[in-house]
Amino acid sequence: MSETNGNGKLYKLDNVSRVFRVGSQEVRAVDAIDLDIDRGEFVAVQGPSGSGKSTLLQLLGALDKPTGGSLSFDGRELTKLGQGDLTKVRSRDIGFIFQTFNLIPTLTAEENVELAMVPIGLNRGKRRARGTDLLEQVGLASRSKHLPSKLSGGEQQRVAIARALANEPRVLLADEPTGNLDSQTADEVVAILRKLSAERDVTVVLVTHADEVAQRASRRLRMRDGKLLDQPAPGLS
């Protein structure tokens, strides 16, 4: 885990926009957003399809760059970093969870988790120990030797959460992580995210259509047409 900048703010967005050109048309997927996200917050982002919430998540994850404005992560201006530095930020500081689990089907649960640690140079013994601990934290210690095809949807998403935590990131970005799950399993997954956020001081930013999921967050943001609607400040929702 990287050193922090000494205050509670993890993300700071000032007038951030992401504009795409489609032929002669401009599409403002993210439109002049101002947003602060504190370390350890659990933030849900809601909005209809096409509102810009997934594009916002990509910007927060350094998977894309704004076309306007300033986006800082832990005091570093992401828009000014080169690809090499952005890759380091993504691999060391940010964990990603998606609606589709994206597990490698020929690897066991523990092997899927361990694979995420290879780029940071951990030896096999440390990878195995950390992977075992993470699978235990998400309630899958007894299923660590199973292939994804032998796991339920909820279990596969738990493996994906453990994998996202493998490099001890400071933020988890989750794009519709409960979209393919039944309501009970979705509740269990959100409970795991809340627990991990609280115990590890990990910031979670979760995109969802589901009110029952968003209600579990410490702060809810709503987007429409690329803009954030009226929002509470950190810690006030």
pLDDT tens track for 49-71: 889 999 999 999 999 999 999 99
Q: With contact defined as beta carbons under 8 Å apart, do 38 and 10 qualify?
A: yes
Instruction: Based on DSSP, count helices (H) and strands (E) in the chain, helices before strands.
Output: 7, 10
Cβ count within 10 A of residue 170? 20
Q: Which residue's entry shows tokens 């090499």?
A: 84
Residue 233 pLDDT exceeds 60: no
pTM check: above 0.95: no
At 99, which helix (H) or strand (E)? none
Burial call 174-199: b when 16+ CB within 10 Å, e when fewer: bbbbbbbbeeebbbbbbebbeebbee
Q: What pLDDT digit, counting tens, does each position of 121-180 carry?
A: 888 899 999 999 999 989 999 999 999 999 999 999 999 999 999 988 999 999 988 888
Residue 1 pLDDT exceeds 50: no
Q: Which of 127-131, 150-154, 201-205, 227-231 is the least confident region?
A: 227-231
Residue 21 pLDDT exceeds 60: yes
Q: What letter would DSSP give residue 148?
A: G
Percent of the chain with pLDDT over 70: 94
Residue 119 pLDDT exceeds 90: no
The ranges assigned to domains in the chain are 39-62+91-228
CA dihedral angle for residue 77, residue 91, residue 201, residue 79, rounded to 10 degrees? 10
Domain 39-62+91-228, what architecture? 3-Layer(aba) Sandwich (3.40)
